[in-house]
Amino acid sequence: MDVAEEDPTNLPTKRRVRLLNRDDRLFHVILAQQFDRELIDHLCRIAEMTRIIADARAGARFLNTLLSHKRAMLYFIQPSTRTFLSFSAACQVLGMPHNDVRDSSTSSEVKGETEEDTVRVLSQYFDVIIMRHPSEGFAETMANKLNTMRRCIPLINGGSGKDQHPTQAMLDIYTLYRCFSPSLAERIRLDPERNLFDGKTIAFVGDLKRGRTVRSLAYLLTRYPGVRLLFVAPEELQISEDILAHLSRYDIEHELKFDLPEVIGECDAVYMTRVQDEHDKAGESGSIDLSRFSLTRDIESRLKPDLAIMHPLPRRTELDTYYDSDPRAKYWDQMRNGMWMRAALIAHVFNVDGAILDHYFSHYNY
């Protein structure tokens, strides 16, 4: 069954077991579909608490001790500065030493070793592998291999191929949480009945066909009925059918659009993306007119006063630097949110999220 087509709430037991541990806690973090609403809410809250705790020196030191007895391997075969640094900073927040393999040409692979052997060797030295890899499905394949080994450690997918980037999706949804909820108190003591996304309109703009961040975020948003999604892209770069079918199955309202200025006025959040021309076969995207898919200065008057402007970065011209110091610009915050969310996720995987929760409630009177 194709990953994009399956219904995550009905994941066959066998697949669930492969990704969760015995207490139904996340073990391997591979797919956005693994996250149900309760878990998303929980991780957003842990991320929020981690951020507040880290702000005080004593709190930062408490966090620093949580995973000082573990070690992480960042296996980043595909170049990526910001995701790498974000995970690295998240490890540092939790006091977890880490190491990395970033260039497979310096590794033993030149001596003819299979990547499976490489991952297995890494599992001997480290307590978690955070992996970024150019091949779709590689992270999942490796998680399955690890499950058959005597020393089985968790694997976190930091982006695999064109398909999935679940931790990016989690930081995006955490950013939306922060934009849509009026107060810290509400974010911390989130009522399970409250759906922050109800009635909100979110536009995805740009290269929706080849950007994995939009795909992964769409999976997460199916957890929030009442949200309305606009996919704003030129015909050639529109979102793929499998995502639309997935949204329909969950009764998530969605529309295809072909002009940003026309719809920007309805949006509570706009998620800009750049053209991924590194995936072009023959420079075909160079001939596409992108003028209707850019957030330019001249449409500022149409923006809602509390619009959230997002972008996974790096950007090009689709997002005018004019907005950089506008309070509605949330794309810098996204970066920092990513650090806290990844720390929350790692804390959850190692079962120290409870300690963060306890620390928070014993030190802050919300």
Give catalytic residue positions.
Answer: 82-83, 111, 132, 165
Considering the complex, what minimum distance in angstroms separates the CB of residue 346 from a copy of itself?
Answer: 15
Considering the complex, what minimum distance in angstroms separates the CB of residue 76 from a copy of itself?
Answer: 9
Residue 151 within binding range of a copy of itself, rule CB under 8 A:
yes
Residue 65 within binding range of a copy of itself, rule CB under 8 A:
yes
Q: Among 52, 97, 135, 258, which residue interacts with a copy of itself (rule: CB under 8 A)?
A: 97
Q: Among 57, 183, 235, 298, which residue interacts with a copy of itself (rule: CB under 8 A)?
A: 57
Give strand pairing partners of 269: 202, 308
Considering the complex, what minimum distance in angstroms separates the CB of residue 53 from a copy of itself?
Answer: 11
Structural tokens at position 291: 């003028």
Number of residues that bind a copy of itself (CB under 8 A): 56
Within residues 265-324, the interface with a copy of itself by CB under 8 A covers 274, 278, 313-316
Closest CB to a copy of itself among 42 and 315?
A: 315
Nearest to 221, CA basis, from 186, 265, 255, 253: 253
**3-state helix/strand/coil string of the chain:** CCCCCCCHHHCCHHHHHHHECCCCCECCECCHHHCCHHHHHHHHHHHHHHHHHHHCHHHHHHHHHHCCCCCEEEEECCCCHHHHHHHHHHHHHCCCCEEEECCHHHCHHHHCCCHHHHHHHHHHHCCEEEEEECCCCHHHHHHHHHHCCCCCCCEEEEEECCCECHHHHHHHHHHHHHHHCCCHHHHHCCCCCCCCCCCCEEEEECCCCCCHHHHHHHHHHCCCCCCEEEEECCHHHCCCHHHHHHHHHCCCEEEEECCHHHHHHHCCEEEECCCCHHHCCCCHHHHCCCHHHCECHHHHHHCCCCCEEECCCCCCCCECHHHCCCCCECHHHHHHHHHHHHHHHHHHHCCCHHHHHHHHHHHCCC
Residue 86 within binding range of a copy of itself, rule CB under 8 A:
yes
Closest CB to a copy of itself among 69 and 249?
A: 69
Residue 14 within binding range of a copy of itself, rule CB under 8 A:
no
Q: Which stretch binds a copy of itself (CB under 8 A): 135-143, 205-213, 284-292, 334-342?
A: 334-342
Q: Which stretch binds a copy of itself (CB under 8 A): 67-75, 202-210, 265-273, 282-290?
A: 67-75
> Whats the size of the chain, residue-wise?
366
Give strand pairing partners of 155: 129
Within residues 247-266, the interface with a copy of itself by CB under 8 A covers none
Rounded Cα distance between 8 and 31, Å, is 9
Considering the complex, what minimum distance in angstroms separates the CB of residue 40 from a copy of itself?
Answer: 22
Q: Among 118, 157, 168, 175, which residue interacts with a copy of itself (rule: CB under 8 A)?
A: 118
Closest CB to a copy of itself among 21 and 80?
A: 80
Closest CB to a copy of itself among 40 and 72?
A: 72
Rounded Cα distance between 335 and 83, Å, is 9
Residue 355 within binding range of a copy of itself, rule CB under 8 A:
no
Closest CB to a copy of itself among 1 and 110?
A: 110
Closest CB to a copy of itself among 60 and 245?
A: 60
Q: How far apart are the two ends of the chain, measured CA to CA in Å? A: 46
Residue 61 within binding range of a copy of itself, rule CB under 8 A:
yes
Closest CB to a copy of itself among 227 and 309?
A: 309
Q: What residue ranges bind a copy of itself (CB under 8 A)?
A: 54, 57, 60-61, 64-65, 68-69, 71, 73, 79-82, 85-86, 88-89, 92, 97, 99, 101-103, 106-113, 117-118, 120-122, 124-126, 148-151, 274, 278, 313-316, 325, 332-333, 335-336, 339
